[in-house]
Amino acid sequence: MTTTAESTSPLVPVDTWWPLLRSDQLKRRPIGLERLGLQLVAWRNSRGEAQLHQRFCPHRRADLGQGEVKGEHLICRFHGFAFDGTGQCRLMPCEGSEARIPPGMTIGRYPCREAQGFVWFWSGSAASMPAEVPYLPALAGLPPIPGADKELEWAMPIERAAEQLLDMHHTPFTHPLVWLSATSKRNTRVVYEDLHLEGDHWRGTPRFEPDGGGGKPFRLPHQLLFPNQALLAFGHGVYLYATLTPIDRNRSIGWVRYLLRAPFPKLLSALSNWFEARFVQPEDLAVLLANQPSRGGLQHQCLVKADTFVAHWHQRWSHLVPGAYDEAH
């Protein structure tokens, strides 16, 4: 019998995909995770397929992330109870192999899939889970470099962290070091070209240009797969893919992955990821952690034209996640 855990999270819309961890992190040992306000354990069966279950053992609530995998079973470290991929307990060593296993001795199973170098959680029923995790179409032609991603944990709600996927016009001010390479002008205005906001796939190209004319404009084609996958094209074959997931109501985790059409792409991608994490993200964090109220949202922010993606995101999110912007919980 298959036991299905409640596979939705109150923190995110139903029927959406969320990356949990990188595929290459999930090896032979199970991993306990806190994501989407849920306690999860991820492991691989003997065929190498990712499995996702409730994290705490139904016997005496041990963390199954401390256990081990033997064949088709996830074994609890505390008393060795063995659970199969459906979540059913198959052996309680202390009771003997003939013992009747109580009906409640199960770990709920969550739907998941592996794609793009991540294990993804489906926030919806297994029956409604699509065959594939949606992919930003522009990624199709780029070299996948799983394993070179940089993982970043942020002490801010998903509602604020997501703005990082949507806001390009902070760059000249928050990241002057990076911006110098594009143009030294800081009085830069931003105009969106080719804006498409239909459905879940949004596209636009912010054109940065010195206010009042003169100088060369700089374009940064930008795409989003609502709610949590973004791709930036810096030009010269350099792309930045980013995705994120709530850990709980007040913390988020994200991954950045530079994709390069260049010699030694893996090495250059790893260097770029490192630079991003070492120099760029701390600048973002310094600003974002001080923003009040911490969840942002439409009623607390006076948005302007350049914030079009931000506004659109919050509009959809507030419809899909009731109470998302309530400060007290």
* Residues found near ligand FES in the complex (CB under 6 A): 57, 59-60, 62, 76, 78-79, 81
Q: What are phi and psi of 69, to 5 degrees?
A: -110, 130
Is 81 or 202 the residue whose CB approaches ligand FES more closely? 81
Angle at 118 between CA 40 and CA 252, to 5 degrees: 60
Closest distance of CB 65 from ligand FES, Å: 12
Alpha carbons 152 and 182: distance in angstroms, whole number: 25
- Local structure of 58: helix, strand or coil: coil
Is 39 or 125 the residue whose CB approaches ligand FES more closely? 39
Closest distance of CB 21 from Fe ion, Å: 23
- From the list 95-103, 123-131, 280-288, 298-306, the region that binds Fe ion by CB under 5 A is 280-288
Closest residue to Fe ion using C-beta atoms: 284
Residue 83 contact, options Fe ion, ligand FES, none, Cβ 5-8 Å cut-off depending on partner type? none
Residue 201 contact, options Fe ion, ligand FES, none, Cβ 5-8 Å cut-off depending on partner type? none
> Tokens representing 126?
């297994």
Q: Among 115, 130, 106, which Cα is nearest to 21's?
A: 115
Q: What are phi and psi of 219, to 5 degrees?
A: -110, 140
Alpha carbons 251 and 261: distance in angstroms, whole number: 33
Closest distance of CB 280 from Fe ion, Å: 6
Residue 57 contact, options ligand FES, Fe ion, none, Cβ 5-8 Å cut-off depending on partner type? ligand FES
Is 108 or 254 the residue whose CB approaches ligand FES more closely? 108
Residue 258 contact, options ligand FES, Fe ion, none, Cβ 5-8 Å cut-off depending on partner type? none
Alpha carbons 92 and 95: distance in angstroms, whole number: 6
Is 83 or 317 the residue whose CB approaches ligand FES more closely? 83
Looking only at Cα atoms, what is the longest distance across the chain?
83
Q: Are 203 and 165 in contact (CB under 8 A)?
A: no
Residue 284 contact, options ligand FES, Fe ion, none, Cβ 5-8 Å cut-off depending on partner type? Fe ion
**Alpha-carbon 116 to chain mean position:** 12
Q: Among 51, 37, 33, 31, which Cα is nearest to 6's?
A: 37
84 binds Fe ion (CB under 5 A): no
- From the list 52-60, 131-139, 213-221, 278-286, the region that binds Fe ion by CB under 5 A is 278-286
284 binds Fe ion (CB under 5 A): yes
